[in-house]
Structure 1
């Protein structure tokens, strides 16, 4: 079994996030064949691809920065820079990125991919993103549970961009960032599907993780470690035949995808640059 108590806690979180069921929603349009049913962690929450084969984040990342270390001073400096972006359009984007519920979550990558990601229009890609979210999120928990690193909003007695999540976040280790691992994994997978969109997709994946800095939910070191876990997850997925088949099917869907909302994309493009050029 995947890690018992910790895994169950993450499954509970992802149950809300991946909550649109594979079989309970209306069937997709005839032009986009429905994906085959997959195992579920609970009703409506498809399992990841990797199961017990998840990379071990405790082996992949070093310990988080110690108090009063130069690395923690860097975390504090980035925290101050990110918090200066609160109460503006960058926080609005960060708040949107914090929501991992489906069907909302994959829309973060619509503009970068240049086609909407929906269950009706791109069912295999939609399912792929649900399943890789579970893999990337689960993969952070060996280190999260071991280090139990304090989050910045707790450290400074501040708030976040998602007050409703704060009680759960206080009990969930900060290091590595699960949102970042998920977003960076998604970026890498989408590059595999649409390599001609590499720059836009990876820029959006970077911004997706940095949104956690603006939200005051993570330190810079959490973000960097989350990318490392994502890289390990993505690398391991390359050996999974079902994942490879879904990538191929998603590639065909994207090639025939619908147009995006250009006004939304122009507004988003102005917000996805690196925070203060430091990351």
Structure 2
């Protein structure tokens, strides 16, 4: 009889003990800084590139091909956006340094993202950025595709980055890979916000076309890299722990009524797209 009571009591305690263990792990992770290989350069969750991006992606459009003509047409359509609100938003989207990058998806999420209120979510964004950026590097090095501004001679939205961009290949877009990885992670955290989050992931990639630093096909390839990166991250216990903790942070911020304050400006900046209305990605 007593043995049965003890067993029942132990069974009742197990969920609480598991919860305590998870809370302890999350508290330890929150107290630890994001690992860095250099000041401001985060280390990802994955020990090596997530997959072979050269094997994953098709070759970029060949000169003179119909696909390159399509890229050229969209690049030409993007140039008149220079100096507009869309151009200014593209310059904002270009900055992936933290804390500047913290609020980029706040409006789409409906919750202000910052290191004070959502530390696990910021940790997740910083570390997954590193994984997505690393994932496409082999393909960039392999194909060495020139960027649009090299061909058309028009300005870029972040002229201070011109030399760095000149030395880096276009295909696939690292920003698009990062933005799509972030969008998918945030959709998992807040599925009820899937539409605005996925739209923001797409507009984030499109900002690179507006900036005159990527072709349309670079963005599509970058999004494929982002999706593959997100799939690989599912196997990381640290990523899953941060995801769980970030979900609670979002719930807490919503309960507190904390909403982003700059969303009208962002919406105005994103209103114009470089893509034709009828354009569909393949």
Among 135, 138, 161, the residue aligned to 1:139? 135
Quote the Cα distance in structure 2 between the aligned partners of 1:187 and 1:268: 16
Count of matched residue pairs: 247
User: How do 1:39-54 residues align onto structure 2 when only pairs under 5 Å count?
Assistant: 39-54=35-50
Alignment partner, residue 203 of structure 1? 199
Post-superposition Cα deviations, 1:106-149, rounded to whole Å, max 9, x if no partner, equal 21111001111111110000011000000000111010001110
Q: Which runs of 4+ in 1 moved over 6 A?
A: none
| Aligned-pair CA distance for 1:38 | 5.0
Post-superposition Cα deviations, 1:24-54, rounded to whole Å, max 9, x if no partner, equal xxxxxxx9x9343454212443310012151
Among 118, 124, 130, the residue aligned to 1:128? 124
Among 255, 266, 269, the residue aligned to 1:268? 266
Quote the Cα distance in structure 1 between the aligned partners of 2:268 and 2:35: 40
Alignment partner, residue 61 of structure 2? 65
Write 1 or 2 for the structure with the bigger share of helix: 2
Query: What is the alpha-carbon root mean square deviation over aligned residues?
Result: 1.7
Structure ID, larger Rg? 2
| Aligned-pair CA distance for 1:218 | 0.2
Quote the Cα distance in structure 2 between the aligned partners of 1:37 and 1:126: 11
Cα–Cα, structure 1 residues 238 and 210, in superposed 2: closer, same or farther, change >3 Å?
same
Q: Does the CA contact (< 8 Å) of 1:110 and 1:116 recur in 2?
A: yes
Are residue 189 (structure 1) and residue 188 (structure 2) matched?
A: no
Secondary structure of the 2:168 match is coil
Post-superposition Cα deviations, 1:30-84, rounded to whole Å, max 9, x if no partner, equal x9x9343454212443310012151221111111101110000000011011112
Alignment partner, residue 113 of structure 1? 109
Are residue 96 (structure 1) and residue 92 (structure 2) matched?
A: yes
Q: Does the CA contact (< 8 Å) of 1:55 and 1:229 recur in 2?
A: no
Q: TM-score, normalised by structure 2?
A: 0.83
Secondary structure of the 2:162 match is helix
User: How do 1:2-41 residues align onto structure 2 when only pairs under 5 Å count?
Assistant: 34-41=30-37
| Aligned-pair CA distance for 1:104 | 1.1
